[in-house]
Amino acid sequence: MSNSKLTRRGLIKTGAVAGAAGLTLPTYLRADAHAGYLNAPQGDTVTLGFNVPQSGPYADEGADELRAYELAVEHLNGGGDGGMMNTFTSKALQGNGILGKKVEYVTGDTQTKSDAARASAKSMIEKDGAVMITGGSSSGVAVAVQALCQEAGVIFMAGLTHSNDTTGKDRRANGFRHFFNSYMSGAALAPVLKNAYGSDRKAYHLTADYNWGYTTEEAVKSSTEAMGWETVAAVKTPLTQTDFSSYIAPVLQSGADTLVLNHYGGNMVNSLTNAVQFGLRDKQVNGKDFQIIVPLYSRLMAKGAGANVKGIFGSTNWHWSLTDEGSKAFVQSFGTKYGFPPSQAAHTCYVQALLYADACERAGTFNPCGVVEALEGFEFDGMGNGKTLYRADDHQCFKDVLVVKGKENPTSEFDLLEIVEVTPVEQVTYAPDHPQFAGGSLGTCNPGA
Partner 1 sequence: MDAIILQILNGLDKGSAYALIALGLTLIFGTLGVVNFAHGALFMIGAFCAVTLSRILTLSHTVIDETQKDFLGNPLKVDVPYIYDIFGQATGDAIIDWAVPISILFAIPVMVGIGFAMERGLIKHFYKRPHADQILVTFGLAIVLQEIIKYFYGANPIPTPAPDAFRGSFDFGAMLGFDPNTIIYPYWRLVYFAFAAVIIGAVFAFLQFTTFGMVVRAGMADRETVGLLGINIDKRFTIMFGIAAAVAGLAGVMYTPINSPNYHMGMDFLVLSFVVVVVGGMGSLSGAVLAGFLLGILESFASMAIVLETLPGINQIIIYLVAIIILLTRPRGLMGRKGVMEE
User: Which residues of this chain interact with partner 1, rule CB under 8 A?
Assistant: 55-60, 233, 235-236, 238, 240, 242-243, 245-247, 249-250, 252-254, 266, 269-270, 273-274, 277-279, 282-283, 285, 300-301, 303-308, 320-321, 331-332, 335-336, 340-341, 411-412, 414-415
Q: Which is nearer to partner 1, 36 or 304 (CB)?
A: 304
Q: How far is the CB of 234 from partner 1 (least distance, A)?
A: 9
The backbone torsions φ and ψ at residue 258, rounded to the nearest 5 degrees and listed phi first, read -145, 135
Q: How far is the CB of 264 from partner 1 (least distance, A)?
A: 12
SS (H, E, C) 8-42: HHHHHHHHHHHHHHHHHCCHHHCCECCCCECCCCC
Q: Which residues contact 140 (CB under 8 A, 6 or more apart)?
A: 114, 210, 211, 212
Q: How far is the CB of 358 from partner 1 (least distance, A)?
A: 27
Q: How far is the CB of 84 from partner 1 (least distance, A)?
A: 16
Q: How far is the CB of 60 from partner 1 (least distance, A)?
A: 5
Q: Which residues contact 111 (CB under 8 A, 6 or more apart)?
A: 53, 54, 55, 56, 117
Q: Which is nearer to partner 1, 235 or 419 (CB)?
A: 235
CB 317 within 8 A of CB 347: yes
Q: How far is the CB of 284 from partner 1 (least distance, A)?
A: 8
Q: How far is the CB of 74 from partner 1 (least distance, A)?
A: 18
**Distance of alpha carbon 134 from alpha carbon 132, whole angstroms:** 7
H or E segment to which residue 149 belongs:
helix 139-152
Q: Which is nearer to partner 1, 95 or 335 (CB)?
A: 335
Q: How far is the CB of 253 from partner 1 (least distance, A)?
A: 6
Q: Is the Cα dihedral 291, 292, 294, 300 positive or negative?
A: negative
Q: Which is nearer to partner 1, 189 or 234 (CB)?
A: 234
Q: Which is nearer to partner 1, 11 or 249 (CB)?
A: 249
**Distance of alpha carbon 316 from alpha carbon 309, whole angstroms:** 14
Strand-pairing partners, residue 101, are: 98
Q: Which is nearer to partner 1, 321 or 427 (CB)?
A: 321
CB 318 within 8 A of CB 299: no
In Å, how far are 29, 147, 200, 244, 421 from 248, measured between CA atoms? 52, 37, 22, 6, 29
Q: Which is nearer to partner 1, 110 or 273 (CB)?
A: 273
Q: Which is nearer to partner 1, 169 or 281 (CB)?
A: 281
H or E segment to which residue 45 belongs:
strand 45-52
Q: Which is nearer to partner 1, 22 or 255 (CB)?
A: 255
Closest CA to 380 of 365, 361, 367: 361
H or E segment to which residue 59 belongs:
helix 59-76
The backbone torsions φ and ψ at residue 296, rounded to the nearest 5 degrees and listed phi first, read -120, 115
Burial (CB < 10 A; 0-12, 13-18, 19+), residue 6, is exposed
Q: Which is nearer to partner 1, 296 or 331 (CB)?
A: 331
CB 165 within 8 A of CB 142: no
Q: How far is the CB of 410 from partner 1 (least distance, A)?
A: 12
Strands 397-398 and 401-406: unpaired
Q: How far is the CB of 388 from partner 1 (least distance, A)?
A: 23
